[in-house]
Amino acid sequence: MITATQIRDLEFGVNSFGDVATDGGRPQSDEEALLLLVDEAQLAESVGLDSFSVGEHYREGMVDSATPVILAGIAQATSTVRLGTSVTVLSTQDPVRLYQQFATVDGLSRGRTQLVLGRASAIESFSLFGYDIEEYEQIFEEKLDLFLRLMREDRVTWSGRYRPPLDDVRLHPRMPEGGIPTWIGVGGSPDSVVRAARHGLPLMMAVIAGRPERFAGHAELYLRALARFERQELPIGQHSIGFIADSDEEAKNTYWKYWRPVVAALNEERGFYPPTAERYETEVSTGALYVGSPETVSQKIASIVRANHLSRFDLKYDVRHLPREARAHSIRLFGERVVPRVRELLHENPGDWRLTGRTPAEIVKGGRAVHA
């Protein structure tokens, strides 16, 4: 059963994709949207949230293309909240430059920086930076290998296909020994789950549609893989989308207005599900949208913490043109009312949270074999 210490150590954060808000009905300028992120990070810190993360996108209506620059600015306006990425598209980054950028942010934030590395579901950066989407998998694996070596080794000699070789290189500024906390983000691929375990990295599951409980199998695959590779047990996190208001009705009605056009665009561009009222209701009631009053969202989060063996839950609070006042109120309710209530619910009903009491080696017994 879950212990009081484990409930206390459960982490909660908020994520932004740099979606442009409205202010008095007027869409903000890019400058205003960037400054709003600083304000919202300060708010997240003030209500006791553990982390504030920013994504990486290259499209109109989002201002998060230069994530480390944003985080460096936020670092100067905050003092305790951890600063990270909801996703860094490693495939189209230079691992050397990425190391230097986040070593810099980590120094400016006095050791508060973390990363989620992913292959990208939005692929605009591939054509923008001249990468072949057909080599999606190979590029990520090679760059991940180099980035981890740069973090974990003092000097690196390396060669590969996608950047010039390195000969006994020592980068500056330096990250702390072993690097900064780095997670692998997955959107449903079992291969990505196993990759995280093989490299000894925590797992961040992006659950944005359908029943979130279906990712329980990914969590258990990850734990079996950790045992297969003789790794210690590592944290499992979940990134999900949501909006909190004073009542269920207010939350659902407000979010529907801004969610529908965004999903309609995704449906046209990427074949995402159509944003019908029926689908919206399903996603809110039993699916991946954490939309509702503080009590409703708390109950749903507590349930998924148990089901998916979570150590961390991150809520993406912004959606394009959602009013800035509504965004701020959602963050405040999340920190002040939802997080304490989730801990209370877990105390009342611990369940089989994180498979407590079972080591990865014990979990693998009776499970399928896991292969590299």
Q: Is the pLDDT of residue 356 over 50?
A: no
CB of 354 closer than 8 Å to CB of 310: yes
Q: Is the pLDDT of residue 354 over 80?
A: no
**CA angle, 153 as apex, 231 and 93 as ends, to 5°?**
90
Q: Closest Cα to residue 81, out of 11, 21, 20?
A: 11
CA-to-CA distance for 193 and 46, rounded, in angstroms?
34
pLDDT at site 358:
47
Burial of 32 (0-12, 13-18, 19+ CB in 10 A): middle
Fold assignment, 4-364: TIM Barrel (3.20.20)
Q: How confident is the model at residue 268 (pLDDT cuts 50, 70, 90)?
A: confident
Tokens of 106: 């980590």
Q: Closest Cα to residue 109, out of 87, 86, 80, 152?
A: 80
pLDDT at site 357:
43
CA-to-CA distance for 290 and 319, rounded, in angstroms?
13
Q: Is the pLDDT of residue 134 over 50?
A: yes
Tens-place pLDDT, residues 279-315: 999 999 999 999 999 999 999 999 999 999 999 999 9
Q: Closest Cα to residue 347, out of 300, 294, 306, 290?
A: 306
Q: Closest Cα to residue 290, out of 305, 276, 301, 302?
A: 301
CB of 231 closer than 8 Å to CB of 239: no
pLDDT at site 352:
63
CB of 251 closer than 8 Å to CB of 245: yes
Q: How confident is the model at residue 181 (pLDDT cuts 50, 70, 90)?
A: very high
Q: What is the model's pTM?
A: 0.92
Which whole number is the average pLDDT over 110-132? 83
pLDDT at site 130:
77
Q: Is the pLDDT of residue 230 over 70?
A: yes
pLDDT at site 363:
44
CB of 45 closer than 8 Å to CB of 75: no
pLDDT at site 135:
80
Q: Is the pLDDT of residue 364 over 50?
A: no
